[in-house]
Amino acid sequence: MAFFTTKGRTFEVSVVISNKPGVREPEGETILHDLVAKSGFEQVESIRAGKYLRVRVVAPDPASAKRLVEKMCNDLRIFNPAAHSCEVSIGRVPGR
């Protein structure tokens, strides 16, 4: 049984998967120390790297679209809860 009707509008949903705070982040550290800091951008304090997915879904409203994608990420282990945090937001640009 479908949880959501296939009627509705098309939404773009951003998913950002990053390491939980407290997990060592060698990729972000390397970009910071070996590239950015060395090139004169001393004001940059920290960089963390992650994975970005842009998901297009059909849903009746933005809240449903967000819930659908959150369920997808949880059910299919799009992120590993032992080490990752997963932020889902409506729109092409994460965080809105």
User: Could you say whether residue 88 binds another protein (CB under 8 A)?
Assistant: no
User: Could you say whether residue 20 binds another protein (CB under 8 A)?
Assistant: yes
| Identity of the residue, 31 or 58, whose beta carbon is nearer to another protein in the bound complex | 31
User: Could you say whether residue 23 binds another protein (CB under 8 A)?
Assistant: yes
Residue 88's CB: how many other CB atoms inside 10 A? Answer: 23
Interaction residues for another protein, span 57-86 (CB under 8 A): 76-78, 80, 82-84
* Token couple for 66: 């967000």
DSSP label of 28:
H
Q: What b-and-e string marks burial along 44-66, b requiring 16 or more CB atoms within 10 Å of the CB?
A: eeebeebeebebebebeeeebbb
Binding-site ranges for another protein (CB under 8 A): 19-20, 22-24, 26-27, 30, 51, 76-78, 80, 82-84
